[in-house]
């Protein structure tokens, strides 16, 4: 069953996962802050990605590049000329929309990626797509609107000091490709991964954390020889699917793979696939995988005048590497995980809300609680011991049933209760979040027990 987005937002707020940005000042449109628990989940998600795509992949290395780069980078990459969205205004109520999204929202199976502005305008007129705000069918022509955030570096605000906030992390990788390859003495094929903030002045941000103007990306640029006969695209598509299914625990029912049609592909792209997730507000892109050929390295080589070719030690040939790029937004993936994890369950004695987060993403792995005040000291001792190995929390307020519900609501996989008998039998009760089953476990075996369950 699909979660209602408003319910999810309110739950995430009340439990300390996601707050409206600048809320005490009335907020700032479409900006969101990650509260104490949201920051935990986000950091854990980034760490899982980094471990899987960077540290524990035999080919890859990582990088942390600047947000503000030399503006020539954006000229070379094409962002200064082409990073635009088609903006259309309703003449009656003055609302602004992304013209491509107006069509795709009305006709869910359409994709207008490769269409010209004139084609989109014509389609909107002929198919009576009305303004979603006032229902009029009276739009302006489409204008291209740049998504780049502009600012100035230094004390003088003039053309020469204009810089941009990066709209993607990928270009930072391309400009440090040669340094990274040389310093680490990497041979092709190899990849460089990066996690970091990106900024896009989106025309229509919204749908909670799905589309915001400030967000984080996890991107991998995988470089390989144009003569390499391996299908690296399939290799990375499989890795992405593995990550989604086995690590983020995304149900295969909830996502689908959309291959871009030839007329939708960017001119330099050989193949592009979008992994789309069934969000409560409709299907949306979650993760993009693109074969970018040698487009970026060619552009940077031409604009910088630097030699970015690779000298193949086996064939003595010089060439520019080709690239496969799997790119995902941290918050979009987080939203998919939140949507899938939020569950309302009817029980004999009422209802519970559980965040069935993957164990590795739960803010706390284990909550320790004394059944009553008398066990507080013992429970606290155990809590401190568990802190050495686990993200543990201590919960002593309210009756035990309430405490279990509270931990369910934030997704804690295990609750450990110290009770009357603990003193004599040296055991505690361990309760499982999902099954609500309780087991009596010896304290001396608790660490081992939890380690095996949480793996």
Residue least distant from ligand ATP (Cβ): 329
Examine residue 289 and tell whether it contacts ligand ATP (CB under 6 A).
Answer: no
Minimal CA–CA distance to 48: which of 339, 337, 389?
337
Taking CB under 6 A as the binding criterion, the range among 7-15, 129-137, 282-290, 374-382 that sits at the site for ligand ATP is 282-290
Dihedral angle sign, alpha carbons of residues 291, 294, 300, 306: positive
Examine residue 74 and tell whether it contacts ligand ATP (CB under 6 A).
Answer: no
Gyration radius of the chain over CA positions: 26
Q: How far apart are CA 406 and CA 438, in angstroms?
A: 17
* Count of all residues that appear for the chain in the document: 455
97 is in an annotated binding site: no
DSSP characters over 198-232: EE---SS-BTTTTB-SEEEEEEEEEEE-TT--S-H
- State the minimum distance, in angstroms, from the CB of residue 86 to ligand ATP: 12
Pick from 46, 50, 130, 202: which binds ligand ATP (CB under 6 A)? Answer: 202
Examine residue 288 and tell whether it contacts ligand ATP (CB under 6 A).
Answer: yes
Strands 414-418 and 366-370: parallel
Examine residue 215 and tell whether it contacts ligand ATP (CB under 6 A).
Answer: yes
Taking CB under 6 A as the binding criterion, the range among 18-26, 326-334, 385-393, 417-425 that sits at the site for ligand ATP is 326-334
202 is in an annotated binding site: yes
> Quick one: how far is CA 391 from the chain centroid?
22
Nearer to ligand ATP, 168 or 221 (CB): 168
Taking CB under 6 A as the binding criterion, the range among 117-125, 136-144, 259-267, 286-294 that sits at the site for ligand ATP is 286-294
Examine residue 329 and tell whether it contacts ligand ATP (CB under 6 A).
Answer: yes
Per-residue mark of binding to ligand ATP, 182-201 (x: CB under 6 A): ------------------x-
Q: Are 325 and 336 in contact (CB under 8 A)?
A: no
271 is in an annotated binding site: no
Q: Are 417 and 383 in contact (CB under 8 A)?
A: no
Q: Are 262 and 282 in contact (CB under 8 A)?
A: no
116 is in an annotated binding site: no
Pick from 248, 321, 328, 410: which binds ligand ATP (CB under 6 A)? Answer: 328
Examine residue 375 and tell whether it contacts ligand ATP (CB under 6 A).
Answer: no
Per-residue mark of binding to ligand ATP, 29-58 (x: CB under 6 A): ------------------------------
Q: How far apart are CA 157 and CA 152, in angstroms?
A: 6
Pick from 59, 164, 287, 383: which binds ligand ATP (CB under 6 A)? Answer: 287
Q: Are 435 and 417 in contact (CB under 8 A)?
A: no
Q: How far apart are CA 360 and CA 447, in angstroms?
A: 16
Helix, strand, coil fractions of the chain, as percent rounded to 5:
35, 30, 35
Residues comprising the binding site for ATP? 200-202, 210-215, 285-286, 329-332
In the annotated binding site for substrate, the residues are 98, 168, 215-219, 325-329
Binding site for ligand ATP (CB under 6 A): 168, 200, 202, 211-212, 215, 217, 285-288, 327-329, 331-332
């Amino acid at each position: 069953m699909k979660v209602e987005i408003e319910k999810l937002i309110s739950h995430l707020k009340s439990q300390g996962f996601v707050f409206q940005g600048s809320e005490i000042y009335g907020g700032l449109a479409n900006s969101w802050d990650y509260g104490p628990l949201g920051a935990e989940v986000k950091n854990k998600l980034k760490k899982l990605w980094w471990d899987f795509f960077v540290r524990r992949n035999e080919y890859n290395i990582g990088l942390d590049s600047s947000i503000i780069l030399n503006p020539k980078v954006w000229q070379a990459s094409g962002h200064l000329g082409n990073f635009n969205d088609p903006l259309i205004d309703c003449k009656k109520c003055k609302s602004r929309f992304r013209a491509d999204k107006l069509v795709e929202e009305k006709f869910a199976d359409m994709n207008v990626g490769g269409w010209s502005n004139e084609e989109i305008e014509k389609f909107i007129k002929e198919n009576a797509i009305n303004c979603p705000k006032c229902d009029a069918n009276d739009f302006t022509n489409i204008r291209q609107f740049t998504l780049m955030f502009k600012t100035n570096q230094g004390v003088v605000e003039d053309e020469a000091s204009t810089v941009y906030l990066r709209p993607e992390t990928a270009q930072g990788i391309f400009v440090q490709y040669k340094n990274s390859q040389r310093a680490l003495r990497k041979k092709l094929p190899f990849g460089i991964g990066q996690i970091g903030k990106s900024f896009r002045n989106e025309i229509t941000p919204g749908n909670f954390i799905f589309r915001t103007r400030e967000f984080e990306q996890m991107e991998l640029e995988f470089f390989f020889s144009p003569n390499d006969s391996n299908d690296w695209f399939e290799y990375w598509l499989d890795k992405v699917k593995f990550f989604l299914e086995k690590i983020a625990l995304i149900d295969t029912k909830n996502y689908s793979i959309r291959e871009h049609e030839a007329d939708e592909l960017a001119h330099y792209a050989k193949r592009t696939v979008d992994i789309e997730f069934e969000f409560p507000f409709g299907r949306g892109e979650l993760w993009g995988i693109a074969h970018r050929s040698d487009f970026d390295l060619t552009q940077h080589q031409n604009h910088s005048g630097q030699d970015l070719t690779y000298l193949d030690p086996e064939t003595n040939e010089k060439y520019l590497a080709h690239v496969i790029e799997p790119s995902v937004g941290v918050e979009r993936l987080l939203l998919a995980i939140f949507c899938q994890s939020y569950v309302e369950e009817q029980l004999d004695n009422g209802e519970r809300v559980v965040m069935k987060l993957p164990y590795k993403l739960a803010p706390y792995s284990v909550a320790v609680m004394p059944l009553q005040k008398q066990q507080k000291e013992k429970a606290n001792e155990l809590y401190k011991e568990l802190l050495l190995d686990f993200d543990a929390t201590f919960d002593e307020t309210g009756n035990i049933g309430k405490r279990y519900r509270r931990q369910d609501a934030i997704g804690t996989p295990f609750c450990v209760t110290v009770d009357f008998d603990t003193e004599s039998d040296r055991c505690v009760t361990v309760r499982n979040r999902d099954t609500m089953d309780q087991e009596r476990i010896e304290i001396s075996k608790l660490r081992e027990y939890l380690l095996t369950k949480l793996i």
